[in-house]
């Protein structure tokens, strides 16, 4: 798909995943629009592109904000959402639902009113629910009947329903990618709301050699993780080939790892001698799951390329530098 000369909107473009998508779109000779209120995203993630993007700092929970964001836009990548790690998702019931539902509805409606050609919605593996005690390889049809663990999952389901409806009833082509555990540089490092890989990286970085880190649960939970640049490639391919009103999984089903093994990998990267402790009272989410990527590989003619070890090393080194920089700034105040 040739984006050259088109106007492309990325909602949540200041976020970790959105900013990686902006990086990629900048290379495609298109006009990139970023809509973000920076309640979670950061200007520094996209400041290197300040002369190459149209920044629209609007509230996407309002029709007016969505109208401004989609004006004269050809393609929409809708990544903005109220999101966090498992502790955030299970704690923030209203926060995980209302802002995202409002954004999804108003953005679809205003995109349609502004004659957007294609709309891609970033959905989530959180719409699925564990079926059995073994490794659950979720395929797309398993989303129905819906029974997610969280209001965040319900918000994603409602977003998918909206995309399907607008695809059926309007001239706007819509697609949905169900992202499975994306990770990468620029992720939130706040221990109160971060995802598992940046959270573990921070714990290892801050723990003195010879100490210990704590995991949520017994560490036998299993996940398949997809690196940010791979996720971006999948989204771009989905925009080109899978805006047919139906959802497709977007994940790495080849490398499935336990949280214990993930922690051991991060400790090995650090070079420290650390032990692992477990707190089984903490939330863990779905126990063992990964994406069934059959439809993804067929419809996108693609599979992820970044290995878990290479991706985690990138995140660890970035987090180490980021935390050191923050400590240096605090030391000068």
Of 293, 287, 187, the C-alpha closest to 250 is: 293
The CATH number of residue 278's host domain is 3.90.25.10
* Residue 177 belongs to domain spanning: 7-183+225-250
Task: Look at the chain and report how many structural domains it folds into.
Answer: 2
Contacts of 303 (CB under 8 A, 6+ apart): 254, 293, 296, 297
Look at residue 302 and tell me if it is in a domain: no
Q: Specify whether the backbone of 135 is left (phi greater than 0), alpha (psi in -120 to 50) or beta.
A: beta
Q: Is 178 exposed, middle or buried (0-12, 13-18, 19+ CB in 10 A)?
A: buried
The CATH number of residue 22's host domain is 3.40.50.720
Residues 135, 163, single domain; the answer is yes
With a pLDDT cut of 90, the percent of the chain lying above it is: 83
Assess contact for 172 and 166: CB atoms under 8 A. yes
Assess contact for 35 and 10: CB atoms under 8 A. yes
Q: What is the pLDDT of residue 333?
A: 47
Q: Is 41 exposed, middle or buried (0-12, 13-18, 19+ CB in 10 A)?
A: buried
Q: What is the pLDDT of residue 89?
A: 54
- Using the Cα atoms of residue 261, residue 266, residue 268 and residue 274 in order, give the sign of their dihedral: negative
Residues 112, 176, single domain; the answer is yes
Q: What is the pLDDT of residue 86?
A: 57
Residues 270, 234, single domain; the answer is no
- Mark the ranges of the chain whose per-residue pLDDT is less than 50: 333
Q: What is the pLDDT of residue 88?
A: 56
Look at residue 191 and tell me if it is in a domain: no
Residues 267, 135, single domain; the answer is no
CA pair distance 89, 71, nearest whole angstrom? 32
Of 154, 41, 38, 35, the C-alpha closest to 106 is: 35
């Amino acid at each position: 798909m040739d984006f050259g000369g088109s106007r492309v909107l990325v909602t949540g473009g200041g976020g970790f995943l959105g900013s990686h998508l902006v990086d990629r779109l900048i290379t495609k000779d298109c006009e990139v629009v970023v809509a973000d209120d920076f309640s979670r995203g950061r200007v520094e993630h996209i400041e290197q592109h300040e002369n190459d993007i149209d920044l629209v700092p609007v509230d996407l929970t309002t029709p007016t904000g969505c109208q401004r964001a989609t004006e004269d836009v050809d393609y929409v990548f809708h990544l903005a959402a109220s999101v966090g790690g498992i502790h955030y998702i299970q704690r923030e019931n209203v926060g995980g639902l209302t802002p995202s539902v409002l954004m999804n509805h108003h953005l679809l409606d205003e995109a349609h009113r502004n004659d957007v050609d294609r709309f891609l919605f970033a959905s989530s593996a959180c719409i699925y629910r564990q079926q059995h005690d073994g490794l659950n390889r979720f395929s797309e049809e398993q989303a129905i009947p819906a029974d997610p663990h969280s209001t965040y999952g319900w918000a994603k389901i409602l977003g998918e329903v909206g995309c399907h409806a607008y695809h059926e009833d309007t001239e706007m082509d819509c697609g949905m990618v169900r992202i499975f555990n994306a990770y990468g540089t620029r992720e939130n490092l706040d221990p109160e709301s971060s995802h598992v890989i940046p959270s573990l990286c921070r714990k290892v970085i801050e723990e003195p050699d010879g100490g210990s880190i704590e995991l949520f649960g017994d560490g036998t939970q299993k996940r398949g993780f997809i690196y940010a640049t791979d996720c971006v490639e999948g989204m771009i391919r989905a925009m080109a080939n899978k805006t047919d009103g139906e959802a497709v999984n977007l994940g790495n089903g080849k490398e499935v790892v336990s949280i214990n093994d993930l922690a051991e990998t991060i400790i090995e990267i650090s070079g420290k001698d650390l032990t692992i402790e477990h707190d089984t009272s903490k939330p863990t989410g779905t126990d063992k799951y990964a994406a069934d990527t059959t439809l993804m590989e067929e419809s996108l003619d693609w599979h992820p390329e970044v290995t878990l070890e290479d991706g985690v090393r990138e995140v660890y080194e970035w987090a180490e530098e980021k935390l050191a920089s923050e400590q240096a700034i605090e030391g000068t105040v």
